[in-house]
Homo-oligomer: A and B are copies of this chain.
Amino acid sequence: MDTIFQFSRRGSASEVEEGQALAPKFDADGLVTCVATDATSGELLMVAHMNAEALARTIESGEAWYFSRSRQKLWRKGESSGHSQRVTEMRIDCDQDAVWIKVEQAGPGACHTGRRSCFYRAVPLGKAPDPSLRLELHEAKAFDPQAVYGGKKD
């Protein structure tokens, strides 16, 4: 796919916040933050990043594309696992440095560890963080990540 895309130039804070022009604020690494929630349940599935091309492809195709910071690579969610994400709605925040996508998640889960959501552990509140603070597991695996991903990510 040869995506040709051009976002609007960023104007004043007021223009960015109150205007109708899509003028994303990519950070020093060329990325915006993307939050993906389940379109049906509303649950937070994952937080990832998009560069300009990933954002453009997602808008154009309605499928979630991301940019991996660890692998420095554009990727389509599900390209290894089959667990793709169809985007039903995209929102952008006030200063246009974060996008929110509501997705129909294919397969049993979004997380490469085998869970539905990447946020399967809770941090206990009310005490000072120290090495004895233990996370609480809130969600069991929904699939075998080795069988699905075979050591890859997607």
Interface positions of A (Cβ within 8 A of B):
3-9, 17-22, 33, 35, 37, 42-44, 46-47, 55-56, 59-60, 62, 87, 89-94, 98-100, 111-113, 115, 118-131, 133-138
Interface of A (DSSP majority class): loop
A-B contact pairs, 23 of them (CB 8 A): A3-B128, A4-B128, A6-B129, A6-B130, A6-B131, A7-B129, A7-B130, A21-B131, A22-B135, A44-B44, A47-B93, A47-B100, A59-B129, A59-B133, A62-B125, A62-B126, A89-B125, A91-B120, A91-B122, A92-B119, A94-B112, A94-B113, A98-B118
| With contact pairs A128-B5, A129-B55 given, residues A20 and B91 touching in the complex (Cβ less than 8 Å) | no
Known: A59-B133, A98-B118. 8 other contacts (CB 8 A): A5-B128, A35-B35, A42-B43, A91-B121, A92-B121, A92-B123, A94-B120, A99-B123
Give A13's nearest chain B residue, CB to CB: B113
Complex formed: what's the CA distance from A9 to B10 in Å?
Answer: 40
Please state if A127 and B47 are interface contacts (CB–CB under 8 Å): no
Q: Which of these, B19, B43, B59, B136, contacts A127 with CB under 8 Å?
A: B59
Residues of B contacting A129 with CB < 8 Å?
5-7, 22, 55-56, 59-60
* Given contact pairs A33-B47, A35-B47, A90-B123, A60 touches B22 in the complex (Cβ within 8 A): no
A44 with B55: CB separation less than 8 A: no
